[in-house]
Amino acid sequence: MTIQWFPGHMTRAKRQIEEKLKLIDVVIELLDARIPQSSRNPMIDEITGAKPRLILLNKADLADSERTAEWSRYFRDKGHMTLAIDANSGTGVKEIAGKAKELLKEKIQRQIDKGMKPRPIRALIVGIPNVGKSTLINRIAGRNIAITGDRPGVTKGQQWIKTGGDLELLDTPGILWPRFDDPIAGFRLAATGAIKEDVLHIDEVACFVLQDLVRGYRPILAERYGLTDLPAELPDLQSAVDVLEQIGRRRGCLAGGGHVDYEKAAGIVLRELRAGKLGRMTLESPDEFSETASEPTT
């Protein structure tokens, strides 16, 4: 997947989601629990408007559970209902319907007061590419559904996936563009595999992520790569390059003349990070964003 979001694409994606909003009661915004802020679409509030929204922190199996709890609090403080899930294994998925019901409880009560039988809540999953939308839809459906991209007029032919309970899901997710405007988010998206490595230089991505990892998980990193004098901070790019070089030497990533092959070393770090071999890690914390604004994503 190559990220090529031009203004025309954005307008189209926004319009496609807006068309679907008319059909649903609640938006399920899927984020990557390892990078909840960087995996958020910068215009999500504008796109989804006043529609009630449930935030799911997906891939929680790969994220640091303490940080996931911090992020859940952060979003709750901003008035959002939040739930951590692992769409791959299904952990937390059964709780989605209950959360959606809680979110819509006043509307449901009004229907009951009018003597109406509440119908199942209709939801749309939205998120950036690779965040786990198809996995979640398939998990909820209990079978593999061929999930295709949007085509003009496709909303008419869309199917509702019944969950056997109080929730129905639109079978086609809303695809949002990632935060490519912010270089830090770009590095974190690349590090987690949300955007392809060839969009950015792999060694630059690794150096950036090493700075995040040293800040949050220094002892784990030191042990994994045998780094005996790893500093508490990597304040600049050069200090991160030095660490990547040490990792390259420890792992035998050598080019001609005894020089380290940085790309190879970077590939090892990123592969191990994505596969969870370094342990459960979250690359960003709410503290980084809490001062900026009441809703920093917009």
For every residue of 173-201, DSSP letters joined together read PEE----TTSHHHHHHHHHHTSS-GGGS-
Which C-beta is closer to ligand G4P: that of 16 or that of 130? 130
DSSP lists the bridge partners of residue 55 as 29, 82
How many residues of this chain interact with ligand G4P, rule: CB under 6 A? 16
155 burial via Cβ count (<10 Å: 0-12, 13-18, 19+): middle
Which C-beta is closer to ligand G4P: that of 135 or that of 211? 135
* Position 216 contacts ligand G4P (CB under 6 A): no
- Tell the smallest beta-carbon distance from residue 140 to ligand G4P (Å): 12
Contact in structure between 161 and 63 (CB atoms under 8 Å): no
Which C-beta is closer to ligand G4P: that of 87 or that of 207? 87
Which member of 36, 42, 132, 178 binds ligand G4P (CB under 6 A)?
A: 132
Tokens of 113: 């007061």
Which member of 61, 166, 263, 272 binds ligand G4P (CB under 6 A)?
A: 61
Tokens of 64: 């640091």
- Tell the smallest beta-carbon distance from residue 192 to ligand G4P (Å): 9
Contacts of ligand G4P in 69-128 (CB under 6 A) = 86-88, 127
Which C-beta is closer to ligand G4P: that of 88 or that of 297? 88
Which member of 59, 67, 99, 188 binds ligand G4P (CB under 6 A)?
A: 59
Which C-beta is closer to ligand G4P: that of 93 or that of 108? 93
* Position 155 contacts ligand G4P (CB under 6 A): no
* Position 130 contacts ligand G4P (CB under 6 A): yes
Binding mask 190-209 vs ligand G4P (x if CB under 6 A, - otherwise)?
---x----------------
Which C-beta is closer to ligand G4P: that of 131 or that of 269? 131
* Position 129 contacts ligand G4P (CB under 6 A): yes
Which C-beta is closer to ligand G4P: that of 163 or that of 246? 163
* Position 58 contacts ligand G4P (CB under 6 A): yes
* Position 135 contacts ligand G4P (CB under 6 A): yes
- Tell the smallest beta-carbon distance from residue 188 to ligand G4P (Å): 15
Tokens of 205: 């991505």
Which C-beta is closer to ligand G4P: that of 92 or that of 186? 92
Exposed e or buried b per residue across 161-198, where buried means at least 16 C-beta atoms within 10 angstroms of its C-beta = bebeeebbbbbbbbbbbbbbeeebbbbbbbbbebbebe
* Position 64 contacts ligand G4P (CB under 6 A): no
DSSP lists the bridge partners of residue 56 as 30, 83
Report the residue number whose CB is nearest to ligand G4P.
132
Spatial neighbors of 213 by CB under 8 A, at least 6 apart, are 220, 221, 273, 278, 281, 283
Q: Which residues are at the interface with ligand G4P (CB under 6 A)?
A: 58-59, 61-62, 86-88, 127, 129-135, 193
